[in-house]
């Protein structure tokens, strides 16, 4: 079983988000980067499947050299090898084409991603890759089991319920809770990660379909109005008459 | 050239989020000086489709093929692609639902178009330049993105457009993409809808949410009763679903679902930054917490410092007294 896990390198969930003075780029100053939290669910599920059935887990990141600490972290958690496509992830279509190119070359049985990246919030890359490769993308999945060597059973969330899906390999799935319990790398993992292969490849000459032209921050709230707990019912009146949301 | 809106149904009716998409599509069509058509798939009643005229839709293309009553991405994409061709659509509008985002991504590849999901406002159109604003960094920022290819595919964030009404009646025509069994090869085995007498969380205009301060699942009747009185959906923080007090699909935040209701009421939730990431684009936020230092108050519009077990029953009483 060959599993590919696509990981995105994103600002830590507690980061303050700021932009450069011209509002054209994200300001990385002082920002810690982490593996996209949703991609960690994908990664740990991939490692669990490998532990149960044998095989390899490859992690793939489309990013510049500064993603390498988190690629190494994925290796420390238990992936076997890694590929970094050496390019700034300009837009989802660009990233999808890079992932599809790597997948075509190596024919993986399962490709796992996260539900969405917490910086772009696109929820796009998985279905784009699915379309580019002509294989199903089960999005967003919260349960994944292999029934045999050629079939997987997944549960995916739909608005207001869930769907049980059976797909033939190869397929793509995006992970969300509670697919797995993310792991923290142990000392041995960290040591062995240093010598695991991390291959850097150049991007295919792919195009982009959108341009990020400007960033801004949402308007600040006007401050909080406090209501006396003894008169809590007053809140309901304010919500109707002042805020007009009831 | 025209604008095409994809409409989703639920129990035979058009989903609220699709009414938002229809409103958005009509407004874009006005900006472009063109017409707007909707395409609907699966089980939606004809009169519900005709009422899309209220949002300014003049014509609805409908494929009621029984096999489409469940979502099958490839089949849906084929029908919509057919509609795009037939209407010569240059702008496609979806709701940013699980279905909308999936179809949008596939169509963007198939039709070589530009895609923006999580869009929060009408486009700026100047000459050839077409720019939309979308939420990024989990609600902490907005980005203006130029859509440089055609068609331009836009999936709009829920609750970011006020639904208009007062238009006419739409005509409903059939469309068929001559689907074969192969198009349904990814058909789900089984669909299980949640038992709910209330409102679906992703669609809800009002959300009542509980955190660890609720102490245990046995106290959730307080959250549920308040939600019921307000016509709200219920939600929770991550630890609450991790401890199985509540199901995972109710967990909102950075690693849960993102909601953007008109009103979000947080009860016994501290307001960790990862929780805020899922709710910070709610229009009005109410925080009830016994700790005056709880960080959530900084993001709130209204706050009550008090014990949830004393405050919430008072809110339920006051909500009961409202004339609905
Ligand atoms: C990578 C990552 C991702 C995460 N993703 C999410 C996410 O998606 N969603 C999420 O919610 N969290 C997420 N978290 C967890 C987050 O950091 C917080 O731990 C979590 O939100 C806290 O939940 P809580 O507010 O319910 O509990 P607590 O932080 O324990 O807060 C309980 C609150 O209840 C109050 N309280 C206690 N008793 C009462 C009472 N009787 N009446 C009124 N108030 C009372 C307390 O004052 C306190 O403020 C994530 C964390 C990480 C590291
Ligand atoms: N730069 C990237 N490199 C590798 N995988 C990525 C990258 N960006 C996104 N992905 C994957 O695609 C998923 C969906 O991302 P998005 O469409 O941006 O929300 C993520 O959870 C990752 O698994």
pLDDT, tens digit, for every residue of A149-186? 999 999 998 887 889 999 999 999 999 988 999 999 99
pLDDT, tens digit, for every residue of B15-72? 999 999 999 999 999 999 999 999 999 899 999 999 999 999 999 999 999 999 888 9
- The model's confidence at residue B10, banded by pLDDT at 50, 70 and 90, is confident
The region that residue B2 occupies, defined by phi over 0 for left and psi between -120 and 50 for alpha, beta otherwise, is beta
pLDDT, tens digit, for every residue of B276-302? 999 998 999 999 999 999 999 999 999
Can you name the residues that pair with A134 across neighbouring β-strands? none
User: Distance (Å) from the C-alpha of residue B302 to the closest C-alpha of chain A?
Assistant: 5
Nearest CA in chain A to B306: A229
Q: For chains A and B, what is the number of CB pairs under 8 angstroms?
A: 248
Q: What share of chain B is helix, strand, coil (3-state, %, to 5)?
A: 35, 30, 35
Beta-sheet strands, E only, within chain A: 2-6, 9-11, 33-35, 56-63, 81-86, 110-114, 137-146, 151-158, 161-168, 171-175, 198-201, 210-216, 225-226
Alpha helices (runs of H) in A35-173, residue ranges in sequence order: 37-53, 68-77, 92-106, 125-133
Distance (Å) from CA B53 to ligand 2 centroid:
38
CB–CB contact A209 B149 (8 Å): yes
Q: How high is the mean pLDDT of chain B?
A: 94
Q: Which residues of B touch A130 (CB under 8 A)?
A: 106
pTM value is: 0.93
The structural domains of chain B, ordered by start, are 2-184 (3.40.50.620), 195-322 (3.40.50.1220)
**For ligand 2, atom 7, which residue shows the shortest CA distance?**
A8
Of A123, A167, A210, the CB nearest to B114: A210
Nearest CA in chain A to B243: A178
Which B positions 60-79 lie with beta carbon below 8 A of chain A?
70-71, 73
Q: How high is the mean pLDDT of chain A?
A: 95
pLDDT, tens digit, for every residue of A3-12? 999 999 999 9
The CA-atom distances, in angstroms, between B34 and each of B3, B19, B30, B156, B324 are: 7, 19, 6, 20, 40
The CATH number assigned to the domain with range A2-215 reads 3.40.50.620
Residue written as token pair 């038992």: B195
User: Distance (Å) from the C-alpha of residue A83 to the closest C-alpha of chain B?
Assistant: 24
Ligand 2 pocket, residues with Cβ under 6 angstroms: A 6-8, 36, 38-39, 60-63, 89, 92, 95, 113-114, 116-117, 120-126
Asked casually if ipTM beats, i.e. exceeds, 0.95, the reply is no
User: Distance (Å) from the C-alpha of residue A217 to the closest C-alpha of chain B?
Assistant: 4
Distance (Å) from CA A41 to ligand 2 centroid:
13
Distance CA B240, CA B235 (A): 10
Binding residues of B: 212, 268-275, 289
Binding residues of B for FAD: 212, 268-275, 289
Length of chain B: 324
Which B positions 162-221 lie with beta carbon below 8 A of chain A?
186, 188-194, 196, 200, 202-203, 205-206
Distance CA A35, CA A14 (A): 13
CB–CB contact B306 A229 (8 Å): yes
* A232 token code pair: 């809590």
pLDDT, tens digit, for every residue of B165-212? 988 999 999 999 999 999 998 888 888 887 766 678 888 999 999 999
Ligand 1 near B259 CB (within 6 A):
no
């Amino acid at each position: 079983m060959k599993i590919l896990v696509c990981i995105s390198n994103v600002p830590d969930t507690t980061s303050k988000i700021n932009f450069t003075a011209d509002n054209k780029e994200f300001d990385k100053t002082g920002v810690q980067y982490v593996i996209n939290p949703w991609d960690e669910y994908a990664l740990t599920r991939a490692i669990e499947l490998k532990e149960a059935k044998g095989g390899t887990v490859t992690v793939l990141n489309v990013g510049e050299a500064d993603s390498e600490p988190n690629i190494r972290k994925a290796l420390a958690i238990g992936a076997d090898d890694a590929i970094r496509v050496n390019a700034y992830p300009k837009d989802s279509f660009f990233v999808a084409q890079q992932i599809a190119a790597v997948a075509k070359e190596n024919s993986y049985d399962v490709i796992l991603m996260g539900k969405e990246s917490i910086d772009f919030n696109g929820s796009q890359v998985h279905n784009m890759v699915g379309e580019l490769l002509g294989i199903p993308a089960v999005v967003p999945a919260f349960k994944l089991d292999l029934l045999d060597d050629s079939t997987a059973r997944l549960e995916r969330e739909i608005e207001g319920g869930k769907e049980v899906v059976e797909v033939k390999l190869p397929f793509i799935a995006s992970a969300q809770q509670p697919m797995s319990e993310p792991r923290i790398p142990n000392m041995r993992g960290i040591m062995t990660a240093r010598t695991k292969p991390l291959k850097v490849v150049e991007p295919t000459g792919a195009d982009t379909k959108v341009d990020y032209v400007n960033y801004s921050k949402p308007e600040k709230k006007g401050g909080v109005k406090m209501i006396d707990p003894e008169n809590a019912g007053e809140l309901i009146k304010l919500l109707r008459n002042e805020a007009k949301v009831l | 050239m025209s604008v095409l809106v994809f409409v989703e149904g639920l129990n035979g009716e058009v989903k609220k989020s699709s009414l938002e998409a229809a409103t958005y599509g009509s407004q874009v069509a006005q900006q472009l000086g063109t017409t707007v058509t909707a395409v609907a798939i699966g089980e939606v009643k004809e009169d519900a489709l005709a009422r899309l005229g209220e949002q300014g839709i003049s014509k609805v293309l409908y494929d009621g093929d029984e096999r489409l009553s469940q979502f099958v991405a490839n089949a849906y994409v084929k029908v919509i692609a057919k509609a795009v061709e037939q209407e010569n659509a240059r702008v496609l509008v979806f709701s940013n639902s699980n279905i909308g985002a999936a179809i949008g991504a596939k169509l963007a590849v198939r039709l070589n178009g530009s895609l923006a999901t999580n869009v929060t406002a009408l486009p700026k159109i100047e000459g050839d330049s077409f720019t939309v604003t979308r939420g990024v960094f989990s609600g902490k920022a907005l980005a203006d993105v130029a859509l440089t290819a055609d068609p331009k595919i836009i999936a709009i964030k829920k609750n970011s457009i006020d639904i208009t009404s007062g238009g006419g009646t739409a005509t409903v025509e059939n469309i068929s993409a001559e689907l074969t069994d192969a198009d349904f090869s990814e058909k789900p085995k089984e669909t299980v809808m949640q038992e709910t007498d209330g409102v679906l969380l992703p669609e809800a205009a009002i959300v009542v949410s509980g955190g660890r301060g609720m102490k245990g699942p046995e106290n959730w009747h307080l959250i549920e009763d308040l939600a019921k009185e307000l016509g709200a959906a219920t939600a929770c923080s991550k630890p609450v679903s991790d401890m199985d007090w509540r199901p995972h699909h109710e967990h909102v935040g950075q690693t849960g679902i993102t909601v953007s209701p008109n009103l979000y009421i947080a009860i016994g939730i501290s307001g960790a930054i990862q929780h805020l990431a899922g709710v910070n684009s709610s229009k009005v936020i109410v925080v009830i917490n016994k700790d005056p230092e709880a960080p959530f108050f900084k993001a709130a519009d209204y706050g009550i410092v008090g014990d949830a077990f004393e405050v919430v029953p008072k809110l339920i009483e006051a909500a009961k007294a409202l004339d609905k």
